[in-house]
């Protein structure tokens, strides 16, 4: 299936979603509010939990025709038939992930604050590039800071959809989108909210003003 890589990108979080049931409810609310892409992110080494949760979220996403990407682990993505994988700079090579997942898979790559990483990822066949952190992140306080101007530069120099991540909220998303981000990836300012659907709608509206 061909997916549109634009809009709100929700990322799951083990602390904000302490059970599979809570995870499914929160992710579904975000999709109902307009999230266009979901990532399963679990940094634990509990393989059984990871397979069970990733499979359940993948089923939900498929029902809503939304792509699920697996963080870090192309093998898990292939094993459960997810739409793709998100790779950090030390999470494995793009060609190997492509080999495992196939031509249709979505492979996203973390580029931190580096245009050089982005150009390399593009040359190796990435489907989107991700920059951050644009604002202080509650989830990842030690993330490398990235300047807003990087988005404008990348827009001109890299022919791939751009994800912005790190401390993004409904209050600061507009400046990120104005600077050139095609997607905003969010954990805390989405999944820690009491009304996740309404929050996702607020993010979504900021894109629909431009689509
Ligand atoms: C959309 C998106 N962008 C960046 C990241 C961060 O990936 P990475 O640097 O590998 O860090 P971890 O998330 O694995 O801790 C991401 N996951 N998603
Ligand atoms: C997983 C992750 N990667 C980042 C990067 O800069 O590469 S920032 C981050 C955490 C994003 O969560 P929140 O929306 O709560 O800040
Ligand atoms: Mg990673």
Q: 34-51: per-residue pLDDT in tens? A: 999 999 999 999 999 999
pTM for the complete prediction?
0.98
Is residue 28 one of the residues assigned to a domain? yes
Is residue 24 one of the residues assigned to a domain? yes
Does ligand 2 come within 6 angstroms of the Cβ of 16? no
Q: How many CB atoms lie within 10 A of CB 180?
A: 18
Does ligand 2 come within 6 angstroms of the Cβ of 129? no
**Which residue's CA is the nearest one to ligand 1's atom 7?**
88
ipTM for this model: 0.99
Is residue 25 one of the residues assigned to a domain? yes
From 49, 176, 206, 193, select the one nearest 73 (Cα to Cα). 49
87-137 tens-digit pLDDT: 999 999 999 999 999 999 999 999 999 999 999 999 999 999 999 999 999
Ligand lying nearest the CA atom of residue 192: 2
Does ligand 2 come within 6 angstroms of the Cβ of 110? yes
Is residue 133 one of the residues assigned to a domain? yes
CA–centroid distance, 133 to ligand 2, in Å, is 6
Ligand 1-lining residues (CB < 6 angstroms): 9, 39, 41, 71-72, 86, 88, 91, 108, 110, 130, 163, 165, 185
Residues contacting 183, CB < 8 A, separation 6+: 5, 6, 7, 8, 9, 36, 37, 128, 161, 162, 163, 164
**Which residue's CA is the nearest one to ligand 1's atom 10?**
88
Is residue 83 over pLDDT 70?
yes
Our count of domains for the chain comes to: 1
For tokens 């963080």, the residue is 71
Is residue 167 one of the residues assigned to a domain? yes
Is residue 2 one of the residues assigned to a domain? no
* Predicted pLDDT of residue 211: 54
CATH number of the domain to which 112 belongs: 3.20.20.70
* Predicted pLDDT of residue 208: 86
Is residue 1 one of the residues assigned to a domain? no
Where in the sequence is the domain holding 73, given as residue range(s)?
7-208
| Alpha helices, DSSP H, located in the chain | 20-33, 47-63, 74-80, 94-101, 115-123, 149-157, 173-178, 188-191, 196-208
């Amino acid at each position: 299936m061909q997916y549109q890589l634009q809009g709100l990108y929700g990322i799951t979080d083990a602390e904000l979603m302490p059970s599979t049931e809570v995870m499914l409810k929160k992710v579904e609310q975000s999709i109902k509010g307009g999230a266009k892409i979901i990532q399963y992110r679990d940094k634990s080494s509990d393989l059984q939990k990871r397979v069970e949760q990733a499979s359940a979220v993948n089923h939900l996403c498929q029902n809503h025709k939304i792509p699920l990407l697996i963080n870090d682990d192309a093998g898990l993505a292939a094993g459960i038939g997810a739409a793709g994988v998100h790779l950090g700079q030390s999470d494995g090579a793009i060609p190997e992930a492509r080999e495992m997942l196939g031509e249709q898979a979505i492979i996203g790559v973390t580029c931190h604050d580096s245009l050089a990483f982005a150009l390399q990822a593009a040359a190796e066949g990435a489907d989107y590039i991700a920059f951050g952190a644009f604002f202080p992140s509650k989830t990842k306080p030690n993330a490398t800071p990235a300047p807003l101007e990087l988005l404008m530069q990348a827009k001109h120099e890299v022919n791939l959809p751009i994800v912005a991540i790190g401390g993004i909220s409904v209050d600061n998303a507009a400046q990120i989108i104005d600077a050139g981000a095609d997607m905003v990836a969010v954990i805390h300012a989405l999944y820690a909210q009491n009304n996740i659907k309404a929050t996702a709608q607020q993010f979504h509206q900021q894109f629909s003003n431009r689509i």
